[in-house]
Chain A
């Protein structure tokens, strides 16, 4: 078992509550939390995998009780302290000094360009794809990062050790298991892999249901 974010398949969460289209933020602070997080990200001190892992490293009790944007703010505060952009004392309300990075702060006229540029995750790689659509594969038996104990991975535990088949090749993408720990892009082939629901759940709803996950080549082996 990994961390509290890995909740796919879990029992006991109650109904999903639909909501109308059109209300983007339900409180002003939600909007500010999103905007502060994006603006701080523009310094390039961390990547998307580092920031996801920061949220996943919240204590399970905090992860469970925090709302979505509370997780963002907690993860951001931890990243700001880790990277030295803000000191723990400053976060605690102590005296604040001007940052040497202040001249690189995101300006209003740069926002559109930054959001439009995005952050593509495809990278060239020396690792050739060994699977093709239709191939039978099996995932790692344990859904854990094999480089870093307790580290970031994108193989959910519900799909560990499961048999599926390749349905799409996405090209070579940054490996989050490496990137989240600043160990390099380590790009490798990425595939969409379909699993019969009966391979994942004891009581699937329908005999032909499937779950498709995007999985990196190193998560997979050819199925015997």
Chain B
């Protein structure tokens, strides 16, 4: 993740290239993380570089307005409407943008569909890339060393940590998000859900089922 205006290359050539610091500037902040953040916020506020009310607005956005219920609506609609599902699999960015789900960390979306043959699972081994407009801020486990290290090598053992066992014949396809493309898993629709409304189906679509570490809930 990076700056909020990542589309630009940033400042001109007078800015030094990133490099290895012998003396890391961050070491000058307090070592306790809560105090460290407080100290940084205080300095930035005194310099006039941040407006604490803007920080409150950012936090409110990700606590209350953007989260996995967005993705659940996309999945529920895909389950109910084959044309919508086909369009989603063809060009997810256009389709979810049309539902108002676009923005930071969701600029290039791809949807991948689970079948009896293939179970999809998403990870970012190099950092923690995640489709924010559809799923919100990633859970702690998604950002953990254990998930980043293990998901690509032993996805079934990771699924076991979530209590999920796949049928013998199902292959796993793990998507390592190494670029700015963000992946949404469309889980399999549970049996016994014919005739359910979009809202009813949404309740069956868990966050983890859209990352591929879970399955949709049976009613």
Contact = CB atoms under 8 A, between A and B. Distances in A.
Contacts of A208: 171
Interface in B1-40: 1-11, 13, 15-21, 24-26, 28-29, 33-34, 36-40
Interface in A146-169: 148, 150, 152, 154-156, 158-159, 168
B47 A209 contact: no
B199 interface: no
Identify the interface centre among A48, A51, A99, A210: most chain B CB within 10 Å of its CB.
A48
Contacts of B127: 5, 52, 55
Q: Which size class do B's interface residues fall under?
A: 35 or more
Contact of B37 (A14, A36, A205, A209): A36
Contact of B179 (A90, A110, A170): A170
Contacts, number: 401
B33 A69 contact: yes
A17 B141 contact: yes
Interface in B146-185: 146-150, 152-158, 161-163, 171-181
Identify the interface centre among B25, B29, B68, B157: most chain A CB within 10 Å of its CB.
B25
B128 interface: yes
B110 A92 contact: no
Contact of B28 (A48, A88, A112): A88
Nearest to B176: A213
A78 to B, nearest CB: 5
B86 interface: no
Interface in A59-93: 59, 62, 64, 67-70, 72-78, 80-86, 88, 90-93
Given A21-B68, A21-B207, A8 B148 contact: yes
B171 to A, nearest CB: 4
A129 interface: no
A120 interface: yes
Identify the interface centre among A8, A76, A85, A154: most chain B CB within 10 Å of its CB.
A8
Contact of B172 (A6, A19, A111, A205): A205
Contacts of B145: 7, 10, 13, 64
A142 interface: no
Contact of A107 (B54, B126, B144): B54
Contacts of A101: 48-49
Contacts of A52: 1-2, 126-127
A38 B4 CA distance: 5
Given A98-B48, A173-B179, A182-B10, A24 B63 contact: yes
B160 to A, nearest CB: 9
B87 interface: no
20 contacts: A9-B149, A15-B146, A24-B136, A28-B34, A35-B59, A36-B50, A37-B3, A39-B50, A40-B44, A40-B49, A46-B11, A73-B40, A106-B50, A115-B104, A121-B179, A154-B126, A155-B178, A190-B181, A205-B157, A209-B172
Given A7-B125, A36-B37, 7 more contacts: A5-B127, A25-B137, A31-B62, A77-B25, A92-B29, A182-B13, A212-B173
